[in-house]
Amino acid sequence: MADLTSNFLGISSPNPFWLASAPPTDKEYNVRRAFEAGWGGVVWKTLGSEGPPVVNVNGPRYGAIHGADRRLLGLNNIELITDRPLEVNLEEMTRVKKDYPDHALIASVMVPCEEAAWKEIIPRIAETGCDGFELNFGCPHGMAERGMGSAVGQVPEYIEMVTRWCKAATDLPVIVKLTPNITNILMPAQAAKDGGADAVSLINTINSITSVNLDAMSPEPMIDGKGTHGGYCGPAVKPIALNMVAEIARNPGTHGLPISGIGGVTTWRDAAEFMALGAGNVQVCTAAMTYGFKVVQEMISGLSQWMDEQGYSSIDEVIGRAVPNVTDWQYLNLNHVTKARISQEDCIKCGRCYAACEDTSHQAISMSEDRVFDVKDDECVACNLCVNVCPVEGCITMETIAPGAMDERTGKPVADEYANWTTHPNNPSSAAAE
C-alpha cells in the first residue's frame, strides 16, 4: 500500500490533498468536517487586517460554465477574503489545530502593502499554532482595486519585498500564492524565491466573465443589473495551471522551488499530473464546492491504487517525475512519425472524425457508403484532432511508424535518428550556424 503521507516544507499531512483558501475553509465548522472527511490539510480562507472586516455583495457571488448534463466545468467568483472578524478566525484556527495536530493548517494572509501591517499580523496569526503562511497575491477582483491581491502579485518587486517582510517576521514556512493574470509566470515565481519564499502555490483564479445575461445585458453573476470580472477556477483552468507549474519546475532559476499545485484538481488523476509536473502537493477548491468534502475519498483511493500499480511507494517518487520530459517545441523530434488508427471494432460510426478532418483539417479520413471510416496515410499528418473529437475512448489511437518504414505522406522512409528544428534545413538560424 503506497504511503500518501505528505511532507511539504516540513509540514506533515496524512495526504497531499489540501483544501485551498476559499469559502470551504472559511470557518471552524467547515474545516473540522473537511478533516473528518479525509482532507490532509487546509489553507484557511484569507485573513485581512484587524478592524471592520470586508463586506461581500448580497447578490450572487458565482457564475459557471457547464458541460454536458450541466457538469460544472468552470466556476467564477466575486467573493472577497474572509468577512468575519480576525479575532474570531484566530480563535477558531487555534481550536482546530489543537484538535488536529497531524493535519496541515496554513493561514492565508492579505493585508495592505505596508511593512508594518505584515509585521504586525504575521506573529499574531502564528500564535494559533498554524503550520505556515500563504501570502495571497492572487485574488483578481475587489481586493486588487485596493492595492492588494493580484495588484501585488502582478509586480515582482512587490512580491519580493512583501515576502522578505514576512520571512523576517516568522520562522514558519512562507508560501507565496501566484496570480496567473500575468504574461510570464517565471517573473513572479523568481521574485518570490528571491524574497526568500519557501514555496509558491499556483494558480490563483483567472480574471474572467463567465457569461452575459442576454435579457438584462449584464455580465453574470449579476448584481442589480451590473456585473464585474471575477476569478475563474475549476476543471477548465487545469491546463493553464499545469503549464505554469511546469514552467516553474523546469526553469533553471526556479527549479527546485517547492510548489503547491492548484487549479481544477477534481480527481486523483489531476493530482497525480500536478505532482508529476513538480507540485509537492495539491490544493483543491472547486471539486469540493461542487461535490462536497467526500470527493477526497476518491482522490485518496485513486492515487493510492495508481501508485501501487506503478510501484511508487511514496509521493516523493512521483513529484517532478515528468519535469524532464517538458521541453521546448524546438527540441521535439521531427523524425517521429505517427498515423491515426481507427478501430473498426470500437467505431460507432458517428462520423465526427470525418467531419473534423474533412472540414477543418487534412482530408485524411475516408468515409464509405456504409459509414466505414479509414485513415488515408498519405494525407494524415497525425494532428490528433480525430482522437480528440471521437466520443469513444480508445477507438482512435496514434500508431508510431517504425524507423525504416515508409511514411506514405512524404514518400520517404522514417528516419531512425532524432532530429529537431534547431538543425532543420528550413530553419534560417540553423543555416546561419553552419
From 55, 70, 329, 433, residue interacting with other proteins (rule: CB under 8 A)? 70
From 98, 269, 349, 412, residue interacting with other proteins (rule: CB under 8 A)? 349
Residues 376-405 that bind other proteins (CB under 8 A): 391-392
Which contacts qualify for 419-426: CB closer than 8 Å, 24 or more apart? 419/333, 419/334, 419/335, 420/330, 420/331, 420/332, 420/333, 420/334, 421/329, 421/330, 421/331, 421/332, 421/334, 422/330, 422/331, 424/334
Of 63 and 230, which CB lies nearer to other proteins in the complex structure? 63
Question: Of these residues, 113, 130, 139, 233, which one is catalytic?
Answer: 139
From 18, 100, 312, 354, residue interacting with other proteins (rule: CB under 8 A)? 354
Q: Is residue 372 a contact point for other proteins (CB under 8 A)? A: no
Residues 270-329 that bind other proteins (CB under 8 A): none
Specify burial of residue 61 (Cβ count, 10 A radius: 0-12, 13-18, 19+). Answer: middle
Torsion angle defined by CA atoms of residues 197, 199, 201 and 202, in that order, rounded to the nearest 10 degrees: 90
In 142-267, alpha helices (H): 150-153, 156-169, 186-194, 238-250
Q: Is residue 69 a contact point for other proteins (CB under 8 A)? A: yes
- For residues 4 and 268, what is the distance between their CA atoms, to the nearest angstrom? 12
Question: Which amino acid type is present at position 358?
Answer: E
Q: Sign of torsion, CA 45 86 62 150?
A: negative
List residues bridging with 339 in a β-sheet.
399
Q: Is residue 355 a contact point for other proteins (CB under 8 A)? A: yes
Of 186 and 355, which CB lies nearer to other proteins in the complex structure? 355
Of 223 and 367, which CB lies nearer to other proteins in the complex structure? 367
The yes-or-no answer on residue 390 being catalytic is no
**Could you tell me the smallest distance in angstroms from the CB atom of residue 224 to other proteins?**
25
**Is residue 202 within 8 Å of 181, Cβ to Cβ?**
no
Of 155 and 350, which CB lies nearer to other proteins in the complex structure? 350
Q: Is residue 336 a contact point for other proteins (CB under 8 A)? A: no
**Is residue 216 within 8 Å of 225, Cβ to Cβ?**
yes
Nearest partner of 62 among 211, 203, 201, judged by Cα: 211
From 226, 371, 412, 424, residue interacting with other proteins (rule: CB under 8 A)? 371
Q: Is residue 98 a contact point for other proteins (CB under 8 A)? A: no
**Could you tell me the smallest distance in angstroms from the CB atom of residue 351 to other proteins?**
3
**Could you tell me the smallest distance in angstroms from the CB atom of residue 357 to other proteins?**
10
From 124, 336, 352, 376, residue interacting with other proteins (rule: CB under 8 A)? 352
**Contact set with other proteins (CB under 8 A):** 68-70, 348-352, 354-355, 367, 371, 391-392
- Cite the active site residues: 139
